[in-house]
Amino acid sequence: METSITSLGVGAEAQVTALLGQGCSFQRKLRTMGIREGKRLKVVAIYPFAGPLVLDIDGRQITLGRGIAQRIMVRVED
């Protein structure tokens, strides 16, 4: 099932399938942080009131705002 990161719960693991940002600077920013197609990630924390999400990618924790996280599509692993 393909969905955005914002619909996942804490502890969920998924694989990145697409980056839906319009510009190359958006994709370059995410790729610099280690977020690219095929990467596995885990949701570590979700802050309330439309706060950021904390993701674990390759053993590093990355904080993303909801606006950016909504544009990252993932496939949930069973």
Residue 78 has pLDDT above 70, yes or no: no
Sheet holding 53-57, edge to edge: 2-4, 72-76, 13-19, 40-46, 53-57, 60-64
pLDDT score, position 21: 77
pLDDT score, position 1: 82
Number of structural domains, the chain?
1
Q: What is the pLDDT of residues 6-53, one digit of tens each?
A: 999 999 999 999 999 777 888 889 999 999 999 999 999 999 998 999
Longest dimension (CA), the chain: 32
In the chain, DSSP finds a helix count (H) and a strand count (E) of 2, 6
What is the CATH number for 56?
2.30.30.90
Model pTM greater than 0.85?
A: yes
pLDDT score, position 64: 95
Three-state DSSP class for residue 10: coil
pLDDT score, position 62: 95
Range of the domain at 22: 2-76
